[in-house]
Structure 1
């Protein structure tokens, strides 16, 4: 059963650690995972403490994943990657159960943990273990916009091509952008923590790694934001992508359809796309494939001529 519960927003004071701990414990009991409560409580205490000490607001905690594989996520507004300190040398467990001792406690309380960094902040997550580890625990993994430069990877494609996207409905693109980012983050975490149970996640994560920057970041996203601020319903966009990458979008479309099928069967956390989202994404992503194969740009069809539109394509 997927866990799509709303996040708990936290303040800047020490009481937030207590609030988060109680909320996570109640959530794990509610989903029937009392076996993970002890490690979940220790882990979320440290995650929230680190967010308060080293992160930036807004700070929030969520329980995501599925009942079989629940995951704690603590998000904040900083893009600085967390650093795992040297593991403790003492053998006394009581020495570890204090706040501010770093993410080594999270590592020992988790089957997997890491940080996922986006341009708007980071999420530090963990999959609580059934027992606190006697050794150093799980190794943390940093993913996303590593380096804090706002670019994923940053390498220019070997065969760049300029794609023109005409009459893009700004609301549909904004919905696609949010869905893309959420699904990208979800499949990255599933692939790292539970690849054997979610083989589709690994395939999707590899494709997202190739397409994340050109499809959702930079000038195209900013242009849609400006169009929304001006009250426009449609706009023209352009994006530079490698021709080979663009042709690979065809595989991405197939994987999205497969993801929808899994979502309807509650095998994936993300919700299946609505018919409107499917229609837009089929056109939007299909334009990259068609133009990479030599086709001319085709505008998104509209039912009326009343849309407000601005052209940003020269």
Structure 2
């Protein structure tokens, strides 16, 4: 079943490790994966300790992935790759910290797969707990997504189209950007860690990369202008988005719309530890992406307010 337990914000003291162990134990029990408890708690002890010593606040723990391969993630605000933790002076009440100082080799020995995903605002160190502690060096970690310049959009040639997306509700737009980033990261990590179990993840990850290159300006870096409404606090509620895109990107957008529906079906079948989109999210995203398709084919823009009144989104 999709995991309903929210992420936990950890306090910056020695009790954070105990809190994280309690949280991950409850998450495993909620999924019916109690056989993972020992390895999950050991891995969490190391990664939370590492984040507290070498990372930056805030530090959070959450679980993603699938029921068969639940992935524990520790997030902190430092973009530096994970380092080995240092030994701590312990007292009788902090026996939970006894694993600190043995380094990430412990994580490697309690994981099916593990690694770090870096971005400009921090890093997520993750692992998929295994049933039994491995002998030897364990599995090798994978570091992905080093911070740096975003992928450059494809050079626009004569076959370009001006796309005007009118009356964009900015709250839904920001939610779409967040959803896009989360899905992109999810399928990338599944394709890296469990490619044999999820062959579709590699195809989806490649599609995300293509879409990001072709529509970089439209999906997060376009120019917002022409404010339509203003909230009571002075912030924008809606705006117009004007983007130039290669006409050939329309087919990528069409595939992406189908992919979002497919991922929702995976969620409803409880094959991913995330929730399917709400009806409002589905309606907005189909309208937003549908504007690329319609205008690439010569159609005229349809404002969001008009699209809501005309029934099903094309």
Q: TM-score, normalised by structure 2?
A: 0.79
Q: Cα offset for 1:44?
A: 0.6
Question: Separation in 1 of the partners of 2:242 and 2:125?
Answer: 33
Mind listing any 5+ residue stretches in structure 1 that lack a counterpart?
86-96, 306-314
- Secondary structure (helix, strand or coil) at the match of 1:25 reads helix
Deviations 1:231-270 (A, max 9, x none): 3321012345444344311111111112222222222233
- Secondary structure (helix, strand or coil) at the match of 2:166 reads strand
Tell me: CA distance 1:71–1:242, structure 2 relative to 1, closer, same or farther (3 Å).
Answer: same
Deviations 1:142-169 (A, max 9, x none): 233x2x23x43x2331336554322111
The residue aligned with 1:73 is: 73
Contact 1:9 1:58 in 2 (8 A): yes
The residue aligned with 2:90 is: none
Question: Separation in 2 of the partners of 1:255 and 1:265?
Answer: 15
Contact 2:55 2:76 in 1 (8 A): yes
Contact 2:64 2:274 in 1 (8 A): no
Task: Select which of 234, 247, 263 maps to 1:230.
Answer: 234
Deviations 1:58-104 (A, max 9, x none): 1011123333222111111222233689xxxxxxxxxxx63144322
The residue aligned with 1:259 is: 263
Structure 2 residue 134 is the aligned partner of structure 1 residue 133: yes
The residue aligned with 1:159 is: 156
Contact 1:8 1:60 in 2 (8 A): yes
Count of paired positions: 290
Contact 1:2 1:64 in 2 (8 A): no
Contact 2:71 2:128 in 1 (8 A): yes
- Secondary structure (helix, strand or coil) at the match of 2:63 reads strand
CA RMSD between the two structures: 3.2
| 1:134-213 pair list within 5 angstroms | 134-144=135-145, 146=146, 148-149=147-148, 151-152=149-150, 154-159=151-156, 161=160, 163-212=163-212
Question: Separation in 1 of the partners of 2:221 and 2:54?
Answer: 27
Tell me: CA distance 1:279–1:191, structure 2 relative to 1, closer, same or farther (3 Å).
Answer: same
Contact 2:55 2:78 in 1 (8 A): yes
Q: Cα offset for 1:116?
A: 2.2
Contact 2:67 2:273 in 1 (8 A): no
Contact 1:183 1:270 in 2 (8 A): no
Q: Cα offset for 1:295?
A: 4.2
Task: Select which of 260, 275, 279 maps to 2:279.
Answer: 275
Tell me: CA distance 1:103–1:254, structure 2 relative to 1, closer, same or farther (3 Å).
Answer: same
- Secondary structure (helix, strand or coil) at the match of 2:282 reads helix
- Secondary structure (helix, strand or coil) at the match of 1:197 reads coil
Question: Separation in 2 of the partners of 1:125 and 1:189?
Answer: 9
Q: TM-score, normalised by structure 1?
A: 0.79
Structure 2 residue 245 is the aligned partner of structure 1 residue 244: no
